[in-house]
Chains A and B, each alone.
Chain A
């Protein structure tokens, strides 16, 4: 089943705006982990906002699990499509972790007992159960963002969209978030749409989509996409770090193959060094 489907979608912010989305066709399978890569202004955040009705398409159809987006169903769909935004400070409503996680569940009118259970579940899923009574403003960036994920999880969504949720974090915070997202995808079977401009994060996805100027320009397995290095560069994107190291080593005359796997690269470098020293 298609968790999310865009059919011939049109969208522009204003009539004379340079940025436009035209004839956008895109879909995500249930349980899939899709990464959307793109440079600033490529339309990847617009994609996220269209997916849960924060923005309305000018033409075309957007559906979530077969239900067309719009009108009275918007509310029901938002329960299924959770969005985690970029800035952790601007998406927490309450001062305390527990209250903030409860916010979404309170909004849909769940009974108190169930809200309590959902807070337990959500905080455990993001590994923040010890911080239940902490003040949000005292947490680190990665922890705040994990609380934001928990707040979305408390609504038990089927799809989770991360709209550059790692962009403002340090490497450690980024890793925390990506680990949580991967685990949610595997264990809770949540469909994930990860919007990012870090190539490393796309590597973990089942499928990667590259956007540029409102269009999907590349699509496929992450490894396949990164093989098309020259093409990626034209969209102002680059390889993951390991891939870049490979290219540098090759340019320097070392005989290593193109890989994105750190261990494999280490192995090959070791072999090259051994061969030369013998």
Chain B
């Protein structure tokens, strides 16, 4: 599973890497719910603790994880500043023109920042430790119950995995077309935004054409290999639940109970 060149996947062997992708997906969903259920710093501390535990066992460099937060830094700061300035509360710390800074506003913003950062970090941990192929398998498996309402689960999963499979091919192709157009005198570097966007068209059209041609050939190749859709099809790879998954499951359960208990009994010094 090491050899996946694209996406965010960070190829090392670790406890977290070897978890069942289904469990990791469920974990992420539960974690997001927990983050928004937690209404105190104590609750958020429980969530943060769980994340620290995951990071500790994932062997992904901290630098890489922090870099993922950098992408949303602007959004976080922006919303936090707005909240601090406009949140209405009782304990006024400063008041100027239409802005009021209250104690409640600062606390609210701090929680918001914490929530957003935890959310992004946890989602990134999923993509760092799970290959796109495993994720697709996990999603397919989790969506299986939807087959009862005739939702095309298998087809959806196949579309996703074929899309993943063709990413490197189409990236190569884009590069090739770009070079071919450059050799014919196309200019992709200079000019303003409009000119640059326009310059993409001679790349996009051949790329689309070739993608359709490829799709056609792939369809033939799939037909020739007896593909008739999801019915009567077996699956070679089965996802297996192991002792690791059980441990991780208890971790989610612990976090969820912790957060809910804190919320219900309201032990919230802050």
Question: Within 8 Å of chain A (Cβ to Cβ): is B264?
Answer: no
Cβ-Cβ contact count across A and B, 8 Å cutoff: 104
B3 and A89 contacting across the interface, CB-CB below 8 Å: no
Closest to A101 in B: B236
Instruction: Report the minimal beta-carbon distance from A41 to chain B, rounded to whole angstroms.
Output: 17
Find chain B residues with CB under 8 A from A67 CB: none
A78 and B224 contacting across the interface, CB-CB below 8 Å: yes
Instruction: Report the minimal beta-carbon distance from A118 to chain B, rounded to whole angstroms.
Output: 10
Please tell me which one of the listed residues A96, A110, A138 contacts residue B5 in the complex, with CB atoms under 8 A apart.
Answer: A138
A93 and B3 contacting across the interface, CB-CB below 8 Å: no
Question: Within 8 Å of chain B (Cβ to Cβ): is A134?
Answer: yes
User: What are 15 A-B residue pairs whose CB atoms fall within 8 Å in the complex?
Assistant: A49-B220, A52-B224, A82-B225, A85-B224, A87-B217, A91-B218, A92-B165, A95-B4, A95-B164, A95-B165, A108-B232, A109-B232, A109-B234, A110-B234, A148-B221
A82 to B235, CA, bound (A): 21
Interface residues of B (CB under 8 A from A): 1, 3-5, 132-133, 158, 161-162, 164-165, 168-169, 214, 217-218, 220-228, 232-238
Closest to B226 in A: A107
A40 to B225, CA, bound (A): 25
Instruction: Report the minimal beta-carbon distance from A199 to chain B, rounded to whole angstroms.
Output: 26
B233 and A137 contacting across the interface, CB-CB below 8 Å: no
Find chain A residues with CB under 8 A from B220 CB: 49, 54, 85
Find chain A residues with CB under 8 A from B168 CB: 137
Interface residues of A (CB under 8 A from B): 49, 52, 54, 75, 78-79, 82-83, 85, 87, 89-96, 98-99, 102-112, 115-116, 119, 133-138, 148, 151-152, 155
Closest to A52 in B: B224
Find chain B residues with CB under 8 A from A96 CB: 133
A107 and B227 contacting across the interface, CB-CB below 8 Å: yes
Given the known interface contacts A135-B4, A135-B5, the answer about A95 and B133 at a Cβ–Cβ threshold of 8 Å is yes
Instruction: Report the minimal beta-carbon distance from A226 to chain B, rounded to whole angstroms.
Output: 31
Instruction: Report the minimal beta-carbon distance from A146 to chain B, rounded to whole angstroms.
Output: 15
A112 and B234 contacting across the interface, CB-CB below 8 Å: yes
Given the known interface contacts A87-B217, A91-B221, the answer about A99 and B236 at a Cβ–Cβ threshold of 8 Å is yes
A137 to B227, CA, bound (A): 22
Instruction: Report the minimal beta-carbon distance from A97 to chain B, rounded to whole angstroms.
Output: 10
Find chain B residues with CB under 8 A from A137 CB: 5, 165, 168-169
Please tell me which one of the listed residues A92, A107, A116 contacts residue B233 in the complex, with CB atoms under 8 A apart.
Answer: A107
A148 to B217, CA, bound (A): 13
Known: A82-B224, A93-B158; 13 extra A-B contacts, CB below 8 A, are A75-B226, A78-B224, A89-B169, A90-B221, A93-B161, A93-B165, A96-B133, A98-B236, A99-B236, A99-B237, A107-B228, A109-B232, A109-B233
Instruction: Report the minimal beta-carbon distance from B3 to chain A, rounded to whole angstroms.
Output: 4
Closest 3 CB pairs of A and B: A91-B221, A104-B225, A90-B217
A102 and B236 contacting across the interface, CB-CB below 8 Å: yes
Find chain A residues with CB under 8 A from B227 CB: 103, 107
Find chain B residues with CB under 8 A from A109 CB: 232-234
Instruction: Report the minimal beta-carbon distance from A133 to chain B, rounded to whole angstroms.
Output: 7
B224 and A54 contacting across the interface, CB-CB below 8 Å: yes
B221 and A78 contacting across the interface, CB-CB below 8 Å: no
B234 and A138 contacting across the interface, CB-CB below 8 Å: no
Find chain B residues with CB under 8 A from A133 CB: 1, 3
Instruction: Report the minimal beta-carbon distance from B139 to chain A, rounded to whole angstroms.
Output: 15
B133 and A99 contacting across the interface, CB-CB below 8 Å: yes
Instruction: Report the minimal beta-carbon distance from B13 to chain A, rounded to whole angstroms.
Output: 14
Which of A79, A94, A110 gathers the greatest number of chain B CB atoms within 10 Å?
Answer: A94
A75 and B3 contacting across the interface, CB-CB below 8 Å: no
Find chain A residues with CB under 8 A from B238 CB: 112
B217 and A106 contacting across the interface, CB-CB below 8 Å: no
A83 to B223, CA, bound (A): 10
Find chain A residues with CB under 8 A from B228 CB: 75, 107
Please tell me which one of the listed residues B4, B161, B233 contacts residue A94 in the complex, with CB atoms under 8 A apart.
Answer: B161
Instruction: Report the minimal beta-carbon distance from B254 to chain A, rounded to whole angstroms.
Output: 35
A75 to B226, CA, bound (A): 6
Given the known interface contacts A96-B133, A109-B232, the answer about A135 and B225 at a Cβ–Cβ threshold of 8 Å is no
Please tell me which one of the listed residues A105, A108, A134, A151 contacts residue B236 in the complex, with CB atoms under 8 A apart.
Answer: A105
Find chain A residues with CB under 8 A from B161 CB: 93-95
